Amino acid sequence: MAKTIARRGLKARAVRNRLPTGIELMRDPLLNKGTAFSVAERRALGLQGLLPPRVSSQDEQVQRILEHLRGLPNDLEKYVDLNALHDRNEALFFRIVADYPDEIMPLIYTPTVGLACQRFGHIFQRPRGLFISAKDRGHIAAVLRNWPQRDVGIIVVTDGERILGLGDLGANGMGIPVGKLSLYTGCAGVAPERCLPVLLDAGTDNDALRNHPFYIGLKRKRLRGGAYDALVDEFVMAVQEVFPAALIQFEDFANTNAFRLLHKYRDRVCTFNDDIQGTAAVALAGIYSALRITGGSLAGQRILCMGAGEAATGICDLVVSALTDEGLPETEARGRCWLFDSRGLVVASRAGLAEHKLPYAHRHAQVADFVAAVEALQPTAIIGVAAVGGTFTQAVLGAMARINPRPIVFALSNPTAQAECTAEQAYRWSGGRAVFACGSPFDPVTLEGRRFVPRQGNNSYIFPGVGLGAVASGARRITNEMFLAAARALAQQVAKKDLDQGSIYPPLARIREVSAHIAAAVAEVAFERKLAAKPRPRRLLAHIRAQMYQPRYRSYV
């Protein structure tokens, strides 16, 4: 009799908590615990017989998943396997991401996500996020309301036109916002139910993809001009209506739209472009860290970017902001930054320059060759963000090493095939003197008895913390000052032992703590500039840590 009453009490508690039961509960990835449901939970929630009798701990589940994962033949198979885990048990998925970031992050994001997007139609199993197409014009708000969660805090949206360095992948680009939001949760503890991936399907100009039988998107050429702008504008305004507290992160839009959309919306809604601003912050943080090795000041640097698109001009803009914040006149600050594109050095005399390049088109003779540009400008740092593999040749790195005792070399393009050079090439061709960062992961390099540990200048160091800070403060806008604060906060998290082995970013094992510090710096700017909708807590960093989602199972009874 006592046992019967106890069971009834457990079931009543489950009802009060409004939990689904039985198979329905096990099919909800936010609630599912798999074999970790306790005996009491199984009795109360109608799970008896639906699971094998032995109860597993989450730690045991983690080890089982890892053993299986490590036995798979290639990274794409591992991506598919992890994606399936994400679809059935989010707490377990994010526990693995949080506990094994060095191993798992390259599988769920760069470099593997690039191949996954290319093969998206082949590996597609279950929809995640919202696909909003040109056919939804006029009722996008209704589409957003189909999302089951109401308290959305962060939306990552792409139109798939410029996926990493791979070009127009159309609707296959959904892998990018899904991957980015996985990092928001895994790296910064933004609760998964507050994250919404969105693919704006405006068509694709990739003929081979559009005509492929497995392509999942609209089989039409891309919208352009007013029709495209109307689609994006309706989406942005619909978000303000349905999810008014959400931050919108624009991701992997083509240059022709990225700058324009950022300038259009940055002062109207809470938004940023990670390719422009996130890349800039992680690069600036790397420069600050590198200066602790090379000596000197930011004002004493001359930076030459291989590339003149979103990432390059974003880096230059944030460097200029940092220099003016340190007291340098803006004109002088801009003169420290140079761009090199497919036509050569960007100079004032060149006709037909895109608007975003004009601030960095300086007076100089035209130079068509990158080695010649290095010799002519004598930069202290070269930053590769053009997604053209192998452009930092032995001649380039040799020239940098002749000019500088400790040349700063950032090969930030990804995936790996687009890297400007490998870590081994950077160290070997500079005689072990390069201060190096990469966009894709490379193994440690041993040269003449010294071991170098390169680390990724990956946006995952920046955007999760920025988003967490925005959510924690209720930021109404994301400003350039916030990214400057984020860059400085990241650089402060680099220890001397990191620098001693050539690492200018902290280890990924510390990414959640790093993100908390970045979030606090971003939130502080929001509070100081009166851009926060929430009151400032007395102990900001402790408050932010307390807000972070922990991927541990909770008891349901």
Catalytic residues: 109, 180
Question: What is the rounded CA–CA span in Å between residue 97 and residue 303?
Answer: 35
Judge whether 546 and 31 are in contact, CB under 8 Å: no
Residue 403 burial (10 A CB sphere; 0-12, 13-18, 19+): middle
Which long-range contacts does 29-34 make (Cβ < 8 Å, 24+ apart)?
29/86, 29/87, 29/88, 29/89, 29/90, 30/90, 30/192, 30/193, 31/556, 32/88, 32/89, 32/90, 33/58, 33/89, 33/91, 33/92, 33/553, 34/61, 34/88, 34/89, 34/92
Beta bridge partners of 130: 198
Question: Which residue reads 């997604």 in tokens?
Answer: 387
One-letter amino acid identity for 412? L
Question: What is the rounded CA–CA span in Å between residue 48 and residue 37?
Answer: 10
* DSSP sequence for 274-342: IIIIIHHHHHHHHHHHHHHHH-S-GGG--EEEEB-SHHHHHHHHHHHHHHHHTT--HHHHHTTEEEEET
SS3 content of the chain, % helix, strand, coil (to 5): 50, 10, 40
Judge whether 420 and 388 are in contact, CB under 8 Å: yes
Per-residue buried b or exposed e for 290-316, using 16+ beta carbons within 10 Å of the residue's own CB? bbeebeeebeebebbbbbbbbbbbbbb
Beta bridge partners of 341: 344
Question: What is the rounded CA–CA span in Å between residue 101 and residue 90?
Answer: 16
Question: Which residue reads 């994001």 in tokens?
Answer: 109
Main-chain phi, psi angles of 349, to 5 degrees: -80, -10
Cβ neighbours of residue 246 closer than 8 Å, sequence gap 6 or more: 152, 153, 154, 155, 196, 239, 270
Rg of the chain (C-alpha set)? 24
Token pair recorded at residue 258: 């990225």
3-class DSSP state of 515: helix
Question: Which residue reads 């109360």 in tokens?
Answer: 44
Judge whether 311 and 344 are in contact, CB under 8 Å: no
List Cα–Cα distances, 271 to 29, 124, 262, 475, in angstroms.
28, 29, 8, 10
